[in-house]
Amino acid sequence: MSGTAADYLAQTLAQAGVKRIYGVVGDSLNGFTDALRRRKEIDWIHMRHEEGAAFAAGAEAHLTGELAVCAGSCGPGNLHLINGLFDCQRSGVPVLAIAAHIPSSEIGIDYFQSTHPESLFKECSHYVELVSNPAMLPQVLQRAMRVAVARRGVAVVVIPGDVALSKLDAKPPHWLLPAPPVVLPAATEIDQLAALLNGAERVALFCGAGCAGAHAEIMQLAHTLQAPIVHTLRGKEHLEYDNPYDVGMTGLVGFASGYKAMKRCDTLLILGADFPYRQFFPEQAKIAQIDLRPEALGNRCPLTLGLLGGVKDTLDALLPKLAVKSDSSFLHSAQEDYVTARKDLDSLAELDESTRTIHPQAVTRLVSELAADDAIFTCDVGTPIAWTARYLKVNGKRRIVGSFNHGSMANAMLHAIGAQVSHPDRQVISFSGDGGFSMMMGEFVTLLQLGLPVKIILLNNGTLGFVEMEMKANGFLDTGCDLHNPNFAAMAESMGIKGIRVEQPGELESAIREALAHDGPALVDVVSARQELIMPPTTTAEEAGKFGLFMLKAVMDGRAAELIDLAKVNLLR
């Protein structure tokens, strides 16, 4: 079949089932975007920034499990992809990036917009290769696609604009992408794990995103072992629902009950989780781990036993070898701790219409209650993550997307775009912070341009809230955190997007209902409490001392009024 390398690229992606490509057009991409235009099989999703394109592709890949694609033109264009691609790589979602390049004859002599993308993308991808000759494209492209899908991460194809326009007589092979493999540990290792668990008295399960699709097996395991289940934030959407063994999360945004269950167990079984905070793991317990990724095994804590395998398939092999435990005292104790922790958290999410203060906990709780049963939620890094973790209810149909591993600001609206484009019939809600939203506010126009009915719940507290809390917790005066924001609702209205401003607690529920019912994009600008604290599951004397040091510095700096506000918002409730 005679055509150009760009034609081959478009045909191969279409044959692989790619439905859309997120990006910003540019001269070095012209051959490729024109090939897409002529074939009419793949939609070009016109973004305002390449970083948004990569995040949007990542959300699609997270929700579908299938290959998603983004593209950037030469130099600054594909360079803008990098932050979003880091997020995709660290989230373990299959994304292919097409990085157009300067003319091949000009590489290496400081040409206009010259970079070396084959070097730049190495750290955020499993595979990156420069196509310097059109004959290379079939093998490089096919390998990149296979690697992205099989290794659950990013692959990058770098192609100069002139190479994309060169003749290439080739057609895609029939088979392109591998199916997920079944990975099982050796039978002897499963026997060792069964013996370890059968000999334990107080088993706790710690479950992450690798537990997707294994809900039934994990419930059976918890029942057999009489084990409480602690989950990570990424594990929330897969495990928190229909789960009588759930005792919440641990970690910086977790619950005291999850923290206690892990610290008090004598045996911890980690399932599909690579939780980064070492201080929350038990010091004395025996620890076993099951994970598909060899690099995750023993990555955070010393293991008694590590098994390389998929969670669902490994548990299927393990369960028949386990003895049913009758002593449920450890489980009941953990469940009682959870009831207490949950009651305390829920009390903070009540609306008090006698004050002007709108607490973000109440915002998230109301959205959770009013949203569709199968809504897709995205949340910004920072305080929105904490409220999502603690107050958003899941049910097995709802999905949650966030920058939970990479921790990038401004992800929520960008992820929401990819979620809505790939799931046009689902309700998509972005929990955005004012810092994150304003950082990538250009993509707000993308909602209008593409006609995407994304609902943005914007927590407008006038500060980089999580950073401010980190500073205070470490004894520093918060510096450089203030955000002098516009009326975001009025801004939205001026752009042709529905905007609702909420300044009083009594206005909140009706505003959320109105936004969710609106047939089109909508933004709810919630003027919320600035001084809201996120209390971790446990605090040390050292941490309390550092916070006390902040208060002393604040008084000496003439900022005692802030301490009064802090007390009003958090203590007088």
Q: Are 47 and 23 in contact (CB under 8 A)?
A: yes
- Residue 470's SS3 state is helix
Confirm whether residue 467 is marked as ligand binding.
yes
Of 501, 507, 503, residue with least CA distance to 489: 501
Cα–Cα dist 266/282, whole Å: 8
Confirm whether residue 407 is marked as ligand binding.
yes
List, in sequence order, every residue forming a beta bridge with 377; answer none if it has no partner.
Answer: 400, 429
Cα–Cα dist 563/560, whole Å: 5
| Long-range contacts (CB closer than 8 Å, 24 or more residues apart) made by 393-397 | 393/240, 393/241, 393/368, 393/369, 394/236, 394/237, 394/240, 394/241, 395/241, 395/242, 396/215, 396/241, 396/242, 397/373
Radius of gyration of the chain (CA): 25
Confirm whether residue 291 is marked as ligand binding.
yes
Instruction: Assess whether 381 carries a catalytic annotation.
Output: yes
Confirm whether residue 210 is marked as ligand binding.
no
Q: Tokens 């229909």 correspond to what residue?
A: 242
**Would you give the DSSP letter of residue 176?**
-
Chain Cα centroid distance, residue 373: 20
Instruction: Assess whether 129 carries a catalytic annotation.
Output: no
Instruction: Assess whether 89 carries a catalytic annotation.
Output: no
Active-site position among 11, 18, 24, 50: 50
Confirm whether residue 50 is marked as ligand binding.
yes
Confirm whether residue 404 is marked as ligand binding.
no
Confirm whether residue 438 is marked as ligand binding.
no
Cα–Cα dist 151/154, whole Å: 8
Q: Edge-to-edge, what's the strand order for the sheet holding 267-271?
A: 246-249, 229-231, 203-207, 267-271, 286-291, 305-308
Burial readout 264-284 (b: 16 or more C-beta within 10 A, e: otherwise): bbebbbbbbbbbeeeebbbee
Active-site position among 15, 66, 106, 113: 113
Confirm whether residue 262 is marked as ligand binding.
no
Active-site position among 55, 206, 377, 466: 466
Instruction: Assess whether 394 carries a catalytic annotation.
Output: no
E-strand ranges in 68-153 read: 68-72, 95-101, 127-130
Instruction: Assess whether 466 carries a catalytic annotation.
Output: yes
Chain Cα centroid distance, residue 66: 16
Confirm whether residue 466 is marked as ligand binding.
yes
Confirm whether residue 239 is marked as ligand binding.
no
Active-site position among 381, 394, 421, 428: 381
The three-state DSSP-derived secondary structure of 428-468 is: EEEEEEHHHHHHCHHHHHHHHHHCCCCEEEEEECCECHHHH
Confirm whether residue 64 is marked as ligand binding.
no
Confirm whether residue 199 is marked as ligand binding.
no
Q: Tokens 């010393």 correspond to what residue?
A: 302
Active-site position among 112, 283, 295, 542: 112
- Residue 358's SS3 state is coil
Confirm whether residue 369 is marked as ligand binding.
no
Q: What residues form the annotated binding site for Mg(2+)?
A: 434, 461
Q: What residues form the annotated binding site for FAD?
A: 291
Q: What residues form the annotated binding site for thiamine diphosphate?
A: 50, 407-409, 434-436, 461-467
* Active site residue ranges: 50, 112-113, 381, 466
Q: What residues form the annotated binding site?
A: 50, 291, 407-409, 434-436, 461-467
